[in-house]
């Protein structure tokens, strides 16, 4: 029976492990917010908001290219060692970036590199982290503990936003350069590296998969083949692409409206920091108080309706009542479930993927599908703007994409139970003594809802 003294449903023997994993995720989220806000404010000051569609397009192409290389290693090496190596790599990168700001290099180039690094903090680090967590925890544990661990990441975002907001005044008063805030990232990753060395010994990891030399095309096709052949994952993939189309267009409309209202860099930076703060506070509240309960009450196969429904509502709100209120409200309504219940549910679903390809499937779902949706949205929005279309036209595309996502999730729900019996989901890790035990447990839990 669950104790009333255990609101987060963490067992005593799990506490130290959850704390260690939470602190690592907290550190990366903090550092990502610092580098992301500094990079965006500096880059927009150099390039301007109208070029954001081009920036996003180039960014996701680079993410796709680097993800191809990353997918070669995520399932080939011990994931704990890989996480430690990644943290150490970020220590080196931020030391180098800070040094580059002292060199006669164009500022836009340094900010571009910083933006790219922040995207890897946002995308690749969580893939390695959650793949490690899925490898070391059982499926029932992931459903209980992932929302708690993810809550640390949301708190880290909050602290990072605060540091980015107050650092200009603090650094100026200390006669330091604004770029010295990057040294905070160095310190954060040093602490995370120590925690990763000392605090993750409880994870029960499977052996690293020994593979023959592979090509990038072969690695990408392995994740694609799995998703294509397992019906629930296939329909969810369609939903994810459609949702990122809607997400990108809704965010573009938010930036367009807010840039017109807050028409100086200083005013926009203050507004954007407050927006990020409010969104993060709301995400922390939902993640800490509601996500676990929502997943438990609705069941994993039903939870994926929430994000597309919110995207549909956000897009319609922006169309019906143009202005700053609907711009802020619509984007927050769309992004809040994306960062909370949907992310936790997606990571729990990925725990069903066999160990040897879980990282590749996660990369395909979290990177390639994100890139595909973003590129489609940028292409549609750019073409509509060049053709002289109004925001009503490209917001209609976002609304249509949200409807497509709802239909795809409906199809995923229909095939969910049979997909759990698919042969590709039966190759569990070697330490499991009964093949399919976790799948059976999950089906019993879902049917009991």
Any domain includes 306: yes
CA–CA dist 382, 380 (Å, integer): 6
For residues 195 and 262, which has the higher predicted lDDT (pLDDT)? 195
Band (pLDDT 50/70/90 cuts) for residue 191 is: very high
| CB count in 10 Å sphere of residue 266 | 10
CA–CA dist 128, 295 (Å, integer): 23
The CATH number that applies at residue 339 is 1.20.1250.20
The tally of CA atoms less than 13 A away on the side-chain side of residue 423 is: 1
Query: What pLDDT does 217 receive?
Result: 62
Split into its structural domains, the chain has a count of 1
Closest CA to 164 of 283, 43, 278, 272: 272
Any domain includes 3: no
Any domain includes 4: no
Any domain includes 266: yes
Task: Give the H or E element holding residue 106.
Answer: none
Distances from the Cα of 374 to the Cα of 64, 113, 207, 233, 444, angstroms: 11, 20, 35, 20, 37
Burial of 431 (0-12, 13-18, 19+ CB in 10 A): exposed
**pLDDT tens track for 62-74:** 777 766 666 666 6
**pLDDT tens track for 208-242:** 444 455 555 655 677 778 888 888 888 999 999 99
Any domain includes 22: yes
**Residue 119 three-state SS:** helix
Any domain includes 1: no
Torsion angles phi and psi, residue 226, rounded to 5: -60, -50
For residues 59 and 234, which has the higher predicted lDDT (pLDDT)? 234
349, 105 contact by CB (below 8 A): no
Closest CA to 412 of 307, 296, 287, 331: 307
Any domain includes 8: no
pTM: 0.73
For residues 8 and 46, which has the higher predicted lDDT (pLDDT)? 46
Any domain includes 211: no
Structural domain range at position 329: 13-202+216-447
């Amino acid at each position: 029976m669950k104790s009333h003294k255990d609101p987060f449903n963490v067992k005593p023997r799990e506490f130290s492990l959850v704390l260690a994993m939470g602190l690592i995720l907290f550190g990366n989220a903090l550092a990502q917010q610092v580098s992301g806000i500094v990079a965006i404010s500096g880059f927009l000051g150099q390039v301007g908001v109208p070029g954001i569609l081009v920036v996003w397009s180039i960014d996701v192409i680079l993410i796709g290219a680097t993800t191809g290389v990353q997918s070669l290693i995520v399932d080939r090496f011990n994931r704990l060692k890989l996480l430690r190596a990644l943290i150490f790599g970020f220590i080196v990168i931020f030391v180098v970036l800070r040094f580059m700001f002292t060199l006669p290099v164009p500022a836009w180039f340094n900010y571009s590199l910083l933006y790219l690094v922040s995207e890897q903090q946002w995308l690749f680090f969580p893939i390695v982290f959650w793949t490690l967590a899925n490898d070391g925890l059982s499926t029932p544990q992931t459903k209980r503990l992932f929302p708690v661990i993810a809550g640390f990441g949301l708190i880290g975002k909050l602290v990072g936003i605060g540091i980015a907001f107050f650092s200009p005044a603090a650094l100026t008063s200390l006669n330091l350069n604004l770029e010295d805030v990057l040294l905070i990232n160095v310190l954060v990753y040093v602490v995370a590296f120590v925690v990763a060395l000392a605090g993750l010994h409880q994870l029960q990891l499977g052996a690293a998969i020994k593979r023959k030399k592979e090509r990038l095309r072969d690695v990408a096709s392995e994740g694609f083949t799995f998703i294509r052949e397992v019906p629930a994952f296939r329909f969810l993939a369609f939903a994810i692409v459609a949702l990122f189309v809607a997400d990108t267009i809704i965010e573009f409309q938010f930036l367009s409206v807010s840039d017109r209202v807050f028409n100086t860099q200083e005013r926009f930076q203050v507004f954007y920091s407050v927006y990020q703060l409010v969104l993060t506070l709301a995400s922390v509240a939902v993640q800490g108080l509601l996500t676990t309960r929502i997943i438990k009450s609705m069941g994993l196969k039903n939870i994926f309706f929430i994000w597309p429904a919110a995207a549909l509502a956000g897009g319609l709100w922006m169309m019906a009542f143009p202005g700053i209120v609907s711009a802020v409200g619509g984007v927050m309504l769309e992004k809040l479930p994306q960062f909370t219940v949907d992310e936790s549910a997606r990571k729990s679903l990925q725990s069903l993927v066999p160990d040897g390809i879980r990282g590749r499937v996660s990369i395909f779902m979290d990177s390639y599908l994100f890139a595909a949706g973003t590129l489609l949205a940028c292409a549609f929005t750019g073409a509509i703007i060049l053709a002289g279309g109004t925001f009503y036209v490209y917001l209609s595309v976002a609304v249509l994409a949200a409807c497509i996502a709802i239909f795809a999730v409906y199809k995923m729900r229909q095939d969910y139970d049979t997909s759990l019996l698919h042969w590709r989901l039966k190759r569990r890790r070697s330490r499991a003594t009964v093949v399919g035990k976790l799948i059976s447990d999950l089906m019993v839990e879902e049917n009991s809802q």
